[in-house]
Structure formats: structure tokens, C-alpha cells
Amino acid sequence: MRSRFDEQLALLKKEMIEMGAMCEEAIALAARALTEGNMTLAEKVAPLSQNIDQMERDIESRCLKLLLQQQPVAKDLRVISAAMKMITDIERIGDQAEDITEILPYLAGRKLPDNIPVREMAGGVIRMVTDSVDAYVKQDIDMAKSVIKRDDIIDGYFASIKQNLIDLLKNNTDSGEFAIDLLMIGKYLERIGDHAVNIAEWVIFSVTGMHKEVQS
């Protein structure tokens, strides 16, 4: 009975990795579409987001079956319940990558200013998503804590984007809509970083039984 449970748990972790990898690809495609002005790349994000939605439903179903059909011990229960929390954040990451691509047509092909660090910000959040899911699979608290710390870097990028867009508007008052669109893209990336932090916090819960939200 336990061996069957362990097989299902291993499959759950495999599916979590696949779902996380889809999110990484969606963010990377959205960022490349933005920096290269390539709408063909942008069009690939929506189907990925739909696949992520389906994976959320599949993983949730697997988790419920594990809870109802098996008798998980406390540690297993935490791993399964953490997965159910994490997939909500992962699904939202996919949605926000798609939200970024929906803004791109309004940029009208305008080149991304050199002082707007969207590429760096996107790379940072991709690594956070990768490491947060990896930390879950490996049950690695130190990796999860590293993800949480890196959120300050993402916040710093967003602060830089805001300030540079303010400077842009001071020098070019006709760039209002362009600046707002770029600010929204930065905000979506910042939210993706927040979701990666949420995932990392649930990793810590799955290992220790302690969660920041529960403690406060």
C-alpha cells in the first residue's frame, strides 16, 4: 500500500515540475516577444496558459485522490496540501505571462528603452519560479529561503522601471500610454515574483509544518 502511495507522490512531483516548466516557458516567450517585438512568439503563450490551467485541475484531482484513498502521515499530508496551494500560484503565473502578451499590440512596435530592465526582471522571476518548484521536489528549505530573499531584487527592478518611466514622461509627454503599458508589464513580472515567494513559503511549510501566514 505504501509503495503505491510513494509512486503516486513521485508522479505528483513530476507533474509539478512539468507545470512549473510550462510557466517558465510562458514567461520567457512573453519577455522575448516584448524585447524583440515578435508577436509570433506572443501568440504561443495563450495555448501554454491553457495547458497550465488543465494541469492545475489534473494535479488538484490527484491530490484529492491521495488524500481520500490513502492514509497519509503528517509529513505526506503537508506535502500534498502544499502542492494544492502551490498550483494556484503557478496557474496565476501562467495567466500573468499571458496578460503581458495582451499588452504588446498596444506598444505599436515601439522599441523597449535600454534603461527599462524587463529582460533582467523576467530572467530573475523565471529563476525564482524554477527554484521554488525545485525546492518543493527536493524538500530543500535553503533553496526556498533563497527564492524569498531574491524577491528584493525583483522589487528593485520594478522600482527602477517606475523611476525611469517617470523620467521618460518628464522628457516626452507624448509617451503616456507607452509608459503605462510598460509599467503594467513590470507590475505583472513583480506579481510573478510574489507568486514564486508564495510557492517557496509553502515549501517551507511542507517540510517544517510552519507557514508565515499561519504564524502571523
Tens-digit pLDDT profile for residues 195-207: 999 999 999 999 9
Mean pLDDT of 61-84: 87
Mean pLDDT of 148-159: 97
| pLDDT for the residue numbered 11 | 93
In this structure, what C-alpha cell is assigned to residue 175?
Answer: 509617451
**Whether the Cβ atoms of residue 132 and residue 147 lie closer than 8 Å to each other:** yes
How far is Cα 54 from Cα 19, in angstroms, rounded to an integer? 10
Q: Which residue has the higher pLDDT, 5 or 63?
A: 63
Taking only the tens place, the pLDDT of each residue in 167-185 is 988 888 788 999 999 999 9
How far is Cα 212 from Cα 205, in angstroms, rounded to an integer? 8
Residue 29: how many CA atoms within 13 Å on its side-chain side?
24
Reported as a pLDDT band with limits 50, 70 and 90, residue 1 is: low
Q: Where are the alpha helices (DSSP H) in 70-140?
A: 74-103, 118-138
Q: Which residue has the higher pLDDT, 73 or 149?
A: 149
Q: Which residue has the higher pLDDT, 142 or 9?
A: 142
Taking only the tens place, the pLDDT of each residue in 10-64 is 999 999 999 999 999 999 999 999 988 899 999 999 999 999 999 999 999 999 9
pTM for the whole thing? 0.92
Taking only the tens place, the pLDDT of each residue in 99-124 is 999 999 998 778 888 899 998 999 99
Please state, rounded to an integer, the average pLDDT across all residues of the chain: 91
Work out how many domains the chain is built from and give that number.
Answer: 1
Helix 118-138, helix 176-208: angle, nearest 10: 10
Q: Which residue has the higher pLDDT, 3 or 186?
A: 186
Does pLDDT of 215 surpass 50?
Answer: no
| pLDDT for the residue numbered 213 | 62
Q: Which residue has the higher pLDDT, 162 or 73?
A: 162
Residue 133: give the domain boundaries: 2-215
CATH code, domain with 147: 1.20.58.220
